[in-house]
Amino acid sequence: MTYTSLSIEVEAVQWWKHGDHVAVDRIPAPIAQDCGAALEQAAMCGLLKDDNGTTVVQPGDFVVAEPDGRLMALTQSQFLVRYAPACSLTIDVSATATDVEDA
């Protein structure tokens, strides 16, 4: 779905589970154990490789693709403060006054 910020449109996917976004990988068990995370909890999260290195993506987070292709993960609250759905209204400007009167 397309969203808009104050000045740009971005593509964004709200991530809930593995498979929702191709750029989010599973957290390998050794990394989860090194971080002290329970394996069950780590299995519900994912890893996104972005400009900051690797970011943990949790269910409900948004994966945002900026126009230049950079990816970032935002919590739902961070995303909703910055973006709103882009308007996709299409207007047919080819109609004439006669067309409108006949309708």
- pLDDT tens digits along 26-76: 877 666 555 555 556 667 888 898 777 888 888 999 999 988 889 999 999
Residue with tokens 């999260």: 45
Closest to 38 in 3D by CA, of 51, 27, 23, 48: 27
What is the Cα–Cα distance from 6 to 96, expressed in whole angstroms? 34
pTM listed for this prediction: 0.65
Which residues are CB-contacts of 46 (< 8 A; sequence separation ≥ 6)? 15, 18, 24, 25, 26, 27, 56, 57
User: Domain residue spans in the chain?
Assistant: 2-102
For residues 75 and 80, what is the distance between their CA atoms, to the nearest angstrom? 9
